[in-house]
C-alpha cells in the first residue's frame, strides 16, 4: 500500500528546486558519444498514445489486437472487458509475430511516416508504418531506437535516439512523441517531415530490462519528453495482471500543455488508485494550478516516494541533462550511469536503487 504521506498534495511542498527544464544537452547530442554508447547497446524507453482512427491507414490494428483496444479507449468506448482492466488481448495461436527490429547487424530500416499530429506548440506525435502490417516492433521494455538523417547541406549524418510510445504488441506501426528544439537538426527534420516521407531507424537499443514484480515500488521521475521510457515501463506493469508493482510518477514540465500522455496517466490513476499516483510540477503553472509549482524538489521526493529503506524500491530518472544533474547526477555516457549524486543521493538512495535512462 502507499503510505499516507504519499498523498500529501504536491502544492503544499516548498519548491526551491534547481532549474533544469532549459538546461542544454551534454552527451546526448553528441554523435561520437552516442555511437560509443551504442556499442554497448544501452539507451531507450517508450510509451503509448492513440491517434484517431483513419480508414486509409494500412496499419490500422484489427479488432481484438492491443492497438485496437487502445484506440477505442481513446474514444471513451472500451472494446472489451480486458481493455477495461488494461489487459492486452491475446494475439492468437502460438506463432510469434514477426519483429521489425532485430538488432545485431541488421543495420538501418527505412520507415514511412504515416501520420503526424500536433501535441503542443513544440511537440508532435508521429506514426511510422512498419513494412509488414502484421509485424511488431520487436522492442523489449525498456528500449529505444536511433534515427539517422543526412540533409543536403550536411557533411555527416545526424543520429539521435528516440523512444517509441506505442505498445510493444502493436502491429504494423510505431508511434513517437518528439519535441522540436530550435536549431536541433533531427527534431527539426522530423517536424518538417510530411506523410509519405521516410526516416532511417535502427535498434533495439535495450535499456533497463523490466521483469514483473522485480521491485515492490518504482518511482518514475521525468522531465519533458523524458516521460517516454517511463510510459513504456508503466504500461508494461499495468497491462500484466500478474505484476503487482506500485508506481509513483513525478513529472516536471514548463507548461500544462507540455504534460505528455496526461489522459493515459489519469486513466491509470483512476483504474489503480492503490498502485499508481502522479505528481505534476510546472515551471510556469496556470493561475489555478493545484499541483506542484517551480521545479522538482528534494522535499517533494521525500514526501511522495517510498524512502530508500522503506521497500524494494527502484527509481527511474529521465529528462534533460540539467535534471539528471540536480536529481541523480549526470550520466557518464549513454552507456554508463555515472555516479549517483544530487537529491536522490542526499536522500539516501543507493546507486543500485537508481537507473538513469
Ligand X SMILES: Cc1cc2nc3c(=O)[nH]c(=O)nc-3n(C[C@H](O)[C@H](O)[C@H](O)COP(=O)(O)OP(=O)(O)OC[C@H]3O[C@@H](n4cnc5c(N)ncnc54)[C@H](O)[C@@H]3O)c2cc1C
Interface residues with ligand X (CB under 6 A) are: 23-25, 28-29, 43-45, 144, 158, 160-163, 176-179, 181, 183-188, 225, 228, 320, 357
Residues 231-263 as b or e (16 or more Cβ within 10 Å = b): bbbbbbbbbbeeeebbbbbbbbbbeeebbbbbe
Closest to 137 in 3D by CA, of 173, 108, 104, 165: 173
- CB 339, min distance to ligand X, A: 18
Q: Toward ligand X, which CB reaches closer, 178 or 281?
A: 178
Give the shortest CB-123-to-ligand X separation in angstroms. Answer: 7
In the complex, least distance from residue 184 CB atom to ligand X, rounded to whole angstroms: 2
Residue 83: CB minimum distance to ligand X, A: 25
Q: Is 314 annotated as a binding residue?
A: no
Nearer to ligand X, 203 or 306 (CB): 203
Q: Is 57 annotated as a binding residue?
A: no
* Angle ∠(249,346,25) on CA atoms, nearest 5: 65
Rg of the chain on CA atoms, in Å? 19
Report the Cα–Cα distance between both ends of the chain, in Å, rounded: 27
Rounded (10°) angle between helices 262-271 and 227-238: 30
CA separation for the pair 194, 204 (Å, rounded): 25
**Residue 211 φ/ψ region, left for φ over 0, alpha for ψ in the -120 to 50 degree band, beta for the rest:** beta
Is the Cβ of residue 28 or residue 67 nearer to ligand X in the bound state? 28
Is 166 assigned to a binding site?
no
The answer to whether 4 is annotated as binding is: no
Nearer residue to ligand X within complex by CB, 146 or 237: 146
CB of 28 to ligand X, least distance (A): 5
Q: Strand 217-223 to strand 313-318: parallel, antiparallel, or no bridges (unpaired)? A: parallel
Between residues 89 and 327, which has the closer beta carbon with respect to ligand X? Answer: 327
Q: Is 177 annotated as a binding residue?
A: yes
Residue nearest to ligand X (CB): 184
**160 marked among binding-site residues:** yes
Place of cell 556499442: 39
Find the length of the chain.
357
Question: Residue 258 CB, nearest distance to ligand X (Å)?
Answer: 11
Torsion angle in degrees (nearest 10) through CA of 234, 45, 87, 83: 90
Residue 357 in contact with residue 208, Cβ under 8 Å? yes
Q: Taking the complex as a whole, how short is the minimal distance between the CB of residue 151 and ligand X, in angstroms?
A: 11
Q: How far apart are CA 91 and CA 337, in angstroms?
A: 37
Nearer residue to ligand X within complex by CB, 97 or 206: 206
33/98 with CB nearer ligand X: 33
Listed in sequence order, the DSSP H helices in the chain are 31-39, 66-74, 81-84, 185-192, 227-238, 262-271, 298-304, 321-327, 342-346
Please state the closest distance from residue 59 (CB atom) to ligand X, in A. Answer: 19
Q: Would the CA dihedral through 19, 353, 300, 119 be positive or negative?
A: positive
109 annotated as belonging to a binding site for a ligand: no
Of 344, 337, 341, nearest to 306 by C-alpha is 344
- Tell me if the bond preceding 142 is cis, omega within 30° of 0: yes
In the complex with ligand X, the residue whose CB is nearer, 188 or 240, is 188
20 marked as binding residue: no
Annotated binding site for FAD: 160-162, 177, 179, 186-187, 228
Binding residues: 160-162, 177, 179, 186-187, 228
Amino acid at each position: 500500500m502507499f503510505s499516507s504521506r504519499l498523498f500529501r498534495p504536491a502544492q503544499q511542498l516548498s519548491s526551491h528546486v534547481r532549474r533544469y527544464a532549459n538546461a542544454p544537452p551534454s552527451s546526448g547530442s553528441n554523435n561520437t558519444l552516442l555511437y560509443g554508447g551504442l556499442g554497448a547497446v544501452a539507451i531507450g524507453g517508450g510509451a503509448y498514445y492513440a491517434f484517431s482512427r483513419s480508414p486509409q491507414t494500412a496499419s490500422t490494428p484489427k479488432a481484438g489486437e492491443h492497438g485496437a483496444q487502445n484506440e477505442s479507449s481513446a474514444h471513451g468506448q472500451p472494446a472489451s472487458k480486458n481493455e477495461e482492466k488494461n489487459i492486452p488481448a491475446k494475439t492468437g495461436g502460438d506463432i510469434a509475430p514477426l519483429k521489425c527490429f532485430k538488432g545485431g547487424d541488421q543495420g538501418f530500416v527505412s520507415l514511412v511516416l504515416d501520420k503526424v499530429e500536433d501535441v503542443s506548440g513544440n511537440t508532435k506525435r508521429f506514426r511510422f508504418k512498419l513494412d509488414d502490417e502484421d509485424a511488431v516492433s520487436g522492442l523489449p521494455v525498456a528500449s529505444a531506437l536511433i534515427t539517422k538523417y543526412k540533409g543536403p547541406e550536411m557533411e555527416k549524418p545526424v543520429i539521435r535516439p528516440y523512444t517509441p510510445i506505442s505498445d510493444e504488441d502493436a502491429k504494423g506501426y510505431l508511434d513517437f512523441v518528439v519535441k522540436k528544439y530550435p536549431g536541433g537538426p533531427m527534431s527539426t527534420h522530423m517536424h518538417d517531415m510530411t506523410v509519405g516521407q521516410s526516416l532511417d531507424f535502427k535498434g533495439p537499443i535495450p535499456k533497463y530490462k523490466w521483469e514483473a514484480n522485480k521491485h515492490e515500488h518504482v518511482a518514475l521521475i521525468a522531465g519533458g519528453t523524458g516521460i517516454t521510457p517511463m510510459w513504456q515501463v508503466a504500461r508494461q506493469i499495468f497491462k500484466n495482471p500478474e505484476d503487482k508493482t506500485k508506481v509513483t510518477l513525478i513529472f516536471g514540465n514548463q507548461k500544462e500543455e507540455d504534460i505528455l500522455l496526461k489522459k493515459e496517466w489519469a486513466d491509470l490513476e483512476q483504474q489503480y488508485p492503490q498502485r499508481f499516483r502522479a505528481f505534476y510540477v510546472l515551471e510556469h503553472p496556470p493561475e489555478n494550478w493545484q499541483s506542484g509549482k517551480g521545479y522538482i524538489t528534494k522535499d517533494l521526493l521525500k514526501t511522495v516516494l517510498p524512502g530508500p529503506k522503506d521497500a524494494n524500491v527502484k527509481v527511474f530518472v529521465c529528462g534533460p541533462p540539467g535534471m539528471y544533474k540536480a536529481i541523480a547526477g549526470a550520466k557518464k555516457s549513454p552507456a554508463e550511469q555515472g555516479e549517483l549524486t544530487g537529491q536522490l543521493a542526499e536522500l539516501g538512495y543507493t546507486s543500485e536503487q537508481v537507473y538513469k535512462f
